[in-house]
Amino acid sequence: MWRIKRAVLMDLLEAARNAYPDEFFALLGGNKREKIIDEIIVVPAEYGRTSTLIKTWLVPFDSRIAGSAHSHPGNYNFPSSADISSFAQFGELHIIMAHPYNLNSTRAFNVKGKGEKVEVVE
């Protein structure tokens, strides 16, 4: 099971709230072997109300990149087909935060878009 540091998750939720009504997108950094997410990697992106264009050619190669996180301005917190097709280029674990951006409106998915349990750790 993947784990995520509470401070990282709280920062993601705050960034999603700040970006609202636009989408927020970031990469997740951590230790893939130990399956722990411990940092946010902000990448250049154009944020929009319905989609976020990530400039993938500007994403650094970083062996700590383990996944992605993005927000949905609505309350639907499942990946779109576009989300699922983009997951593979960003790693294994993908977090979707829906409005109003709290723990209950947040879900995690694997690279195929299937629900994934994540433990929040200190």
CA distance 65 to 43: 11
Beta carbon of residue 116, minimum distance to Zn ion (angstroms, whole number): 15
Q: Is residue 116 within the footprint of Zn ion (CB under 5 A)?
A: no
Closest to Zn ion by CB, 83 or 116: 83
Site string for Zn ion, 37-76 (x = CB under 5 A): ----------------------------------------
Q: State which residue, 31 or 85, has the beta carbon closest to Zn ion.
A: 85
Interface size with Zn ion, residues (CB under 5 A) = 1
* Structural element, H or E, at residue 84: helix 81-87
Parallel/antiparallel/unpaired status of strands 25-31 and 36-41 = antiparallel
Q: Compute the distance between CA of residue 46 and CA of residue 57 in angstroms, rounded to an integer.
A: 13
Near Zn ion by CB under 5 A: residue from 25, 73, 83, 118: 83
Residues 107 and 98: their CA atoms lie apart, in Å, by: 8
Query: Which residues would be at the binding site for Zn ion (CB under 5 A)?
Result: 83
